[in-house]
Structure 1
């Protein structure tokens, strides 16, 4: 197994940690906006949607697929982030974003995140690999200029970017 693939080793707690990261994102965004953002979670993740954000008093929603990696993994410790997105569930649409998030386990905080509109993600990734997955690979270094750097956010920036994305979705919605 290559070093790039070791992040895929699923421990029995991997799903539990992934769900905890989703709740961390949701709680952080609600707290950062003092309740302006509200978040719903999916009962079943068969559409590739983990969280659905909306602004209080607005019917517009932003669906988000969350891929998380923990600070305790060797790849993250080396300053890299890797995740795969299943092509079977990925369908680009205006109201769907991909959220890749690195979580500092010790601090229980978001280290780095990338919020990427699904249409942009679909255009920027290559064909799915032999296992039907799109690979997301980015640098965690703040001064990196990799192709994903325009979408890189700090934890505190994430909630404001989601609010901005909701405004973009609202403007693009047919009237």
Structure 2
């Protein structure tokens, strides 16, 4: 196992924490938009979709795969975010975004997020690693200028960006 993947050894509470992060995103987006956004969750996550957003009064949807890391993790504490996406379930399409998310567990709050359209993420990929996973690695440092800086968001910016993505998709459908 490479050093990049050592930290992925899952603790018994990893699935619980991941699901809590998804609900944190859903609730904060609904609240921050005064209910303009609505969110659905998947009963089974076998297609790489965790949340589906839509604007009240619109049928356009944005599917989102969430990859969360907690503030208690070594890499997050060092200002680096790293996650892996399974190549078996990653199918880029216009209405799918990847949401990479660092969560402050003490405050129960989003620290930093990256909302990346799946086609943008796909354009950066080479072959998956030996476990069939693609890597996402970004700096959490405010002054960094890595390839993901343009997708980096604060917790306050995330709901606005999701609304903007829905508007882009609505225009494409028109």
TM-score (norm 2): 0.97
2:82 corresponding residue in structure 1 = 82
Query: What residue in structure 1 maps to residue 70 of structure 2?
Result: 70
1:131 matches 2:159: no
For structure 2, the residue ranges without an aligned partner over 5 or more in a row are none
1:127 is displaced (CA, Å) by: 1.8
More off after superposition, 31-40 vs 117-126: 117-126
Residue of structure 2 equivalent to 1:120:
120
State the secondary structure of the residue aligned to 1:8. coil
Deviation at 1:134, TM superposition (A): 0.4
Q: Secondary structure at the match of 1:124?
A: coil
The runs of 5 or more residues in structure 1 that have no matched partner are none
- Structure 2 equivalent of residue 156 of structure 1: 156
C-alpha separation in 1, matches of 2:31 and 2:103: 17
Q: CA contact under 8 A between 1:111 and 1:155: conserved in structure 2?
A: yes
- 1:79-124, CA deviations, whole angstroms, 9 ceiling, x for partnerless residues? 1001000000000000000000000001110000000000010001
**TM-score (norm: length of structure 1):** 0.97
CA positional deviation for 1:41: 0.1
What is the root-mean-square deviation of aligned Cα atoms in Å? Answer: 1.0
Question: Following TM superposition, where does structure 1 have runs of at least 4 consecutive aligned residues deviating by more than 3 angstroms?
Answer: none
1:14-163 alignment runs, 5 A limit: 14-163=14-163
Paired positions, count: 174
1:154 and 1:148 map into 2 onto residues whose CA distance is 13
